[in-house]
Amino acid sequence: MESFIDYQNNEISHIKSRLDNLSNNLYLIVNLNKESKVNLIDKLRILNKELYNLENLVNEIVCDIYKNKSDIDISQKQKIDQIEKDNKLIYKLSPLILYHQLINQVDT
């Protein structure tokens, strides 16, 4: 369990670092052309929505920790099932992808 906690702490630290970096560089938007500014603002709107969802999930997890109990609803179970399917597919396709990369390296 400690390795899992360490892993999660590293993941959280990494995200915090990336968000800090973004925050520190947002002022550079003024140097972009109009189209790029609009596109970047749209990306930030998407990010804000994702951050809102992330914040809600974090709050839920913290509440579960304080309650000493955690439940998973149907939508969360479906997400977990999808993650497991994706991981299995990646595991199955990994040798093929590696083989393809090797072939491409030899050809170039």
Number of domains in the chain: 1
Mean pLDDT by 10 residues, the chain (108 residues): 92 96 94 95 97 95 96 94 94 86 76
Question: Does 47 map to a domain?
Answer: no
**C-alpha span between 76 and 95 (Å, rounded):** 30
Question: Does 49 map to a domain?
Answer: no
* pLDDT value of residue 40: 95
**C-alpha span between 89 and 57 (Å, rounded):** 26
pTM, full prediction: 0.70
Question: Does 106 map to a domain?
Answer: yes
Question: Does 94 map to a domain?
Answer: yes
Question: Does 26 map to a domain?
Answer: no
Q: 């998973």: which residue's tokens?
A: 72
* pLDDT value of residue 59: 96
Domain of residue 88 covers 72-108
The identity of residue 17, as a single letter, is S
Question: Does 88 map to a domain?
Answer: yes
